Amino acid sequence: MSSFYRQLDDRTFDSLPSTAGPWSPHAQHAGPPAALLARAMEQHEPAPGTRLADVRLDILGPIPVRPLTIATEVLRGGRSMQLLQATASVDGRPAAVARAWRITRAPDDFPHLAGRRPATVEPVPQASGSGHLQMPGAHEDGYLKAIEWRVVSGGVGTGGVTLAWGRQLVPLVEGEEPTGWQRALVLADSGGGITLTLDPRRHTYINCDLHVALDRDPEGEWIRMDSQALASPGHGGTVHTTLADARGELGTGLQTMVSMDARP
């Protein structure tokens, strides 16, 4: 595996086999497209002293493993905050759309507010086993092989609560070093994967969106995810994730889950 995407021109990216999600070799995991759209917004008319504060992805349907055309625009301009939107299209049809607030960075002497966060997090555990998620009936030669996981507690099939460190093993775009935001988004959409407990042959539990808000840009290649899957019979489900790096917690992720009976 060389990367998730290969850039073909200013707006077009070839989706490589590593983008394929666990349920089909022909449909992408949402993590790489989310990061690709964040990359587009990071690079769109960049302004010194600003940063992305959040990224909200809406998945408009299965995202084919085919070339993506990216269009980016400013929905709301301003000196201290801008609302950006990036859309990924396949053959002229939108497949995913993301919005992000790009805001002025806080001054270095701004008061530190820690809330209920712990002062530190545990180090990345030693490698154990293959390092790849094992999911029943999954396509394992795409995204699942491009990500290394080191589980601290929980895991697939253990009740819907998982604490794990993960890192991408390939670049987002061929020949580029991913930014911290891009690394976080490649992993964040896996909250529903690392907590998978329901049998996908009996129950559909997939996300239609992803919202990540970070008050600090991630550092280093490892992203820590503390995720819990929730479902209310007769209503729906969500997956909540607290994100961290080696310095400590830095933000949250939220996925809205479509919860249905998968049996005919």
Q: 226 pairs with which residues across the strands? A: 163, 242
Helix, strand, or coil (residue 147): strand
Question: What pLDDT is attached to residue 263?
Answer: 66
Q: Please report which helix (H) or strand (E) contains residue 144, including its range.
A: helix 143-146
Which two tokens mark 233?
Answer: 């019979």
What angle, 0 to 180 degrees and rounded to 10, lies between the N-to-C axes of helices 31-43 and 180-188? Answer: 150
Q: Is 112 buried (19+), middle (13-18) or exposed (0-12) by CB count in 10 A? A: exposed
- CATH code (residue 84): 2.40.160.210
Question: What pLDDT is attached to residue 239?
Answer: 98
Evaluate whether residue 94 is within a structural domain: yes
Evaluate whether residue 77 is within a structural domain: yes
Closest CA to 244 of 219, 209, 261, 262: 219
Residues 200, 65, 91, CA angle at the centre, nearest 5°?
125
Say whether pTM exceeds 0.85.
yes
Evaluate whether residue 113 is within a structural domain: no
The β-bridge relationship of strands 12-15 and 68-76 is antiparallel
Evaluate whether residue 118 is within a structural domain: no
Question: What pLDDT is attached to residue 264?
Answer: 64
Which two tokens mark 98?
Answer: 């993301």
Evaluate whether residue 26 is within a structural domain: yes
Evaluate whether residue 57 is within a structural domain: yes
How far apart are alpha carbons 137 and 54 in whole angstroms? 33
Domain that holds residue 93: 5-105+131-261
Answer positive or negative: Cα dihedral of 92, 95, 101, 105: negative
How far apart are alpha carbons 71 and 60 in whole angstroms? 15
Q: 125 pairs with which residues across the strands? A: none
Evaluate whether residue 121 is within a structural domain: no
Contact call for residues 239 and 205 (beta carbons, < 8 A): no
Q: Within a 13 Å sphere around the CA of 165, how many CA atoms are in the beta-carbon half?
A: 17
Helix, strand, or coil (residue 38): helix
Question: What pLDDT is attached to residue 111?
Answer: 97
Evaluate whether residue 59 is within a structural domain: yes
Which two tokens mark 30?
Answer: 């949402």
Helix, strand, or coil (residue 239): strand
Domain count, the chain: 1
How far apart are alpha carbons 82 and 240 in whole angstroms? 26
Phi, psi of 242 (to 5 degrees): -100, 125
pLDDT, averaged in runs of 10, over the chain (264 residues): 94 98 94 98 95 98 97 94 98 97 97 95 92 84 95 92 97 97 98 90 89 98 98 95 98 94 71
Which two tokens mark 47?
Answer: 């302004």
Q: Quickly count: other Cβ atoms within 10 Å of residue 58's Cβ.
A: 15
Contact call for residues 150 and 127 (beta carbons, < 8 A): yes
- Which amino acid, one-letter code, is at 184? A
